[in-house]
Amino acid sequence: MAQRVATSEMPGELLSGYREFVAQRLPIEQARFAELAARGQSPKVLLIGCCDSRVPPEVIFNARPGQLFVVRNVANLVPPYRPDGEMHGTGAALEYAVQALKVEHIVVLGHRNCGGIRAFAERNRKPLSPGDFVGRWVSVLQPAARLMGEEGLAEVGLDEAACEDVERYAARLEVASLRQSLINLRTFPCIRILESRGRIQLHAAHFDVSTGILSWLDPADGRLMPIPDNAGQRDPFAPLRGTGCTCCADSLKVSATSAGMASPAGDTRQYDPNSTFNKA
């Protein structure tokens, strides 16, 4: 009886998903779960990602239980170090990952079409609630917007005709935000010290939801470079999609051109069944 009540209260997709997990993945991972339970976790990577349901870090990196220590927040932001006695969820995750788990890498993972970034870009719009929690949270982006220069702000329009400008601005801000998050990470004394001793490395990456392309921020020039998969492909979906998405091509135009690469939109390489993306 108790079992019937519990399952009837569960959202259907969670119930069916859990049952599939028990039937398919748990048998494979059971020994690993048992070992993790006995020995505790020791992930090497802290990943700071967005709450967006389309950007699950464990799926993108094909991670197993225990591999990634993940904190997700709206727009994958890292606020600067501020020991003011208030409650800081991302700061708590950072502190635990660095000081207790002693992770060796921190990765900030941004993504294309981020609603949180868009909320900042359209910050003249009405708050979602009187508390305006989203608005206050994404104000962390202000230094990144300033780094982009005032001309970036001038591009932002709020009427329908200016929608494309807002999208372009938001896409640029997604990248500027990653650079700012790396700066903010270094305001945490423990991270700054460990990085100077070579015991921790900071990274930023960007995932394009529409293409599956992961790009890595080049620390030398601050630009995103697409990561090739095992077969050397950069856009695993391009041969299947037929035509490219112009907004995605636009977002990668600078980095692809600078590296002498073809735009993903024009990619005609063959579908590779061994691609990491295609296996996922």
Q: For Zn ion, which is the closer residue by CB, 110 or 264?
A: 110
Q: DSSP of 45-106, one letter per residue?
A: EEEEEES-TT--HHHHTTPPTTSEEEEEETTS--PPP--SSS--HHHHHHHIIIIIS--SEE
Which of 47-55, 81-89, 194-202, 244-252 is the region at the interface with Zn ion (rule: CB under 5 A)? 47-55
Count of positions on this chain that bind Zn ion (CB under 5 A)? 4
Q: What is the maximal distance between C-alpha atoms in the chain?
A: 64
Tell the smallest beta-carbon distance from residue 53 to Zn ion (Å). Answer: 10
Cα separation, 33 vs 21, whole angstroms: 13
Tell the smallest beta-carbon distance from residue 60 to Zn ion (Å). Answer: 13
Interacting residue with Zn ion among 48, 52, 94, 180 (CB under 5 A): 52
Tell the smallest beta-carbon distance from residue 26 to Zn ion (Å). Answer: 30
Interacting residue with Zn ion among 45, 46, 47, 50 (CB under 5 A): 50
Q: Identify residues 95-124 at the interface with Zn ion (CB under 5 A).
A: 114, 116
Q: For Zn ion, which is the closer residue by CB, 134 or 238?
A: 134
Query: Is residue 232 exposed (0-12), middle (13-18) or buried (19+ Cβ within 10 Å)?
Result: exposed
Q: For Zn ion, which is the closer residue by CB, 213 or 238?
A: 213
- Long-range contact set of residues 33-41: C-beta below 8 Å, sequence gap at least 24: 33/65, 36/65, 36/66, 41/66, 41/69, 41/101
Tell the smallest beta-carbon distance from residue 75 to Zn ion (Å). Answer: 5
Tell the smallest beta-carbon distance from residue 45 to Zn ion (Å). Answer: 19
Tell the smallest beta-carbon distance from residue 207 to Zn ion (Å). Answer: 10
Query: Is residue 172 exposed (0-12), middle (13-18) or buried (19+ Cβ within 10 Å)?
Result: buried
Pick from 115, 82, 43, 44: which is nearest to 188 by CA? 82
Tell the smallest beta-carbon distance from residue 76 to Zn ion (Å). Answer: 6
Residue type, 25: R
Q: For Zn ion, which is the closer residue by CB, 107 or 238?
A: 107
Q: Is 138 in the site for Zn ion (CB under 5 A)?
A: no
β-strand pairing of 45-50 with 105-111? parallel
Positions that interact with Zn ion (CB under 5 A):
50, 52, 114, 116
